[in-house]
């Protein structure tokens, strides 16, 4: 008899076919409320979920037969990992396969904010462009500027590695014991020193109690008035009320966000500013990457159900 599993999202057909061949798959399409998850996970041996699924104690306890929770994401703040471990349940994520896609997208946001690309496109679309002018939509040139990377994990290092292409110097602040980067001439600073001196501040930390609202009023007030803040990590790393305040007071030059505190809700204050670039949480959204993420989650499930060790356990 095939082991029963629960899948909370659509995945590419090749990965789904692998699951169907080996397992009895019940499919849901999110967002799935915790009460529904708790009901449908009963009797299942595996749960494949995404970052919008809240896998708390109630869901874990309801899944008495669960052997693995496979999260299709790098972050796993949506899962009570400690409780899952206490119940003998393996938790996995999907690191590495989305590193380059997210790093590429981060640079897209940096360029869009520094050179006011999104602002210019919106102006064109509403028919407000009056023609070329010497002082029109002046942005910030990246050459010779300082990139401050907060969090030197896989993605932070990949972002930093691309900085020489723009002739930017790199500094970084470690958060949570990150490994030192193998980037030539990258200097380690305290977070405060990084904020004070950087022209672009880009966030690449996991969401933990220590990083929630890491960027608050005090942090924003420390930044250069010409600086740009970029966030492709997790929304609650930035205090959005504080960010709206800082933007309104012109304490920073702009921001570019792919993640938000209360997704899919967007802070209404952010929508008021032309010098803010807003993306709908798509940093890893390439066909290649999302296919690889789903494939890795499926591989982890099949290995655990077959009595083998998963490829990417959360440690």
Report domain extents, the chain: 4-97+287-305, 99-278
The answer for 295, left when phi > 0, alpha when psi is -120 to 50, beta otherwise, is alpha
Q: Based on the residue annotation, tell me whether 234 is a catalytic residue of this protein.
A: yes
Cα(152)–Cα(175) distance, integer angstroms:
8
Q: What is the pLDDT along the chain (315 residues), one digit of tens a residue?
A: 899 999 999 999 999 999 999 999 999 987 889 999 999 999 999 999 999 999 999 999 999 999 999 999 999 999 999 999 999 999 999 999 999 999 999 999 999 999 999 999 999 999 999 999 999 999 999 999 999 999 999 999 999 999 999 999 999 997 654 455 556 568 999 999 999 999 999 999 999 999 999 999 999 999 999 999 999 999 999 999 999 999 999 999 999 999 999 999 999 999 999 999 999 999 999 999 999 999 999 999 999 999 999 999 997
Q: Do the first three CATH levels of 4-97+287-305 and 99-278 match, i.e. the same topology?
A: yes
**CA 46, 52, 57 angle in degrees (round to 5)?**
55
Which candidate in 116, 234, 267, 290 is catalytic?
234
DSSP-based three-state secondary structure for 16: helix
Q: Based on the residue annotation, tell me whether 204 is a catalytic residue of this protein.
A: no
Q: Based on the residue annotation, tell me whether 263 is a catalytic residue of this protein.
A: yes
Residue with tokens 């869009």: 112
> Which CATH number, 3.40.640.10, 3.40.50.1580, 3.40.50.720, 3.30.70.240, labels domain 4-97+287-305?
3.40.50.720
Torsion sign across C-alpha atoms 246, 258, 146, 114: negative
Which candidate in 57, 87, 263, 275 is catalytic?
263
- For 99-278, CATH number? 3.40.50.720
Which candidate in 27, 83, 281, 303 is catalytic?
281
């Amino acid at each position: 008899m095939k082991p029963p599993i629960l899948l909370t999202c659509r995945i590419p057909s090749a990965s789904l076919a692998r699951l169907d061949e080996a397992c009895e798959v019940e499919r849901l399409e999110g967002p799935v409320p915790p009460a529904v998850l708790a009901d449908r996970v009963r009797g299942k041996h595996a749960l494949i979920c995404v970052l919008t699924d809240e896998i708390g104690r109630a869901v874990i306890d309801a899944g008495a037969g669960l052997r693995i929770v496979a999260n299709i994401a790098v972050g796993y703040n949506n899962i009570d990992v400690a409780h899952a471990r206490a119940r003998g349940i393996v938790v996995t994520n999907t690191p590495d396969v989305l590193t380059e896609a997210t790093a590429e997208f981060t640079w897209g946001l940096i360029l869009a904010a520094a050179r006011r690309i999104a602002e210019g496109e919106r102006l064109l679309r509403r028919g407000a462009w009056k023609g070329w002018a010497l002082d029109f939509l002046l942005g910030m040139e990246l050459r010779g500027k300082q990139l401050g990377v907060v969090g030197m994990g896989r993605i932070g290092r990949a972002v930093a590695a691309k900085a020489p292409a723009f002739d930017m110097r790199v500094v970084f602040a470690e958060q949570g014991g990150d490994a030192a980067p193998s980037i030539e001439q990258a200097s380690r600073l305290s977070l405060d020193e990084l904020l004070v001196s950087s022209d672009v501040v880009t966030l690449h930390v996991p969401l933990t109690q220590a990083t929630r609202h890491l960027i608050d009023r005090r942090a924003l007030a420390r930044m250069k008035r010409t600086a740009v803040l970029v966030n492709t990590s997790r929304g609650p790393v930035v205090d959005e009320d504080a960010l709206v305040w800082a933007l309104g007071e012109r304490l920073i030059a702009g921001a570019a966000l792919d993640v938000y505190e209360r997704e899919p809700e967007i802070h209404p204050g952010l929508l008021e500013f032309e010098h803010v670039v807003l993306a709908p949480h798509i940093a890893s959204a390439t066909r290649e990457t999302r296919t690889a993420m789903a494939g890795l989650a499926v591989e982890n499930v099949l290995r655990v159900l077959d009595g083998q060790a998963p490829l990417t356990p959360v440690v």
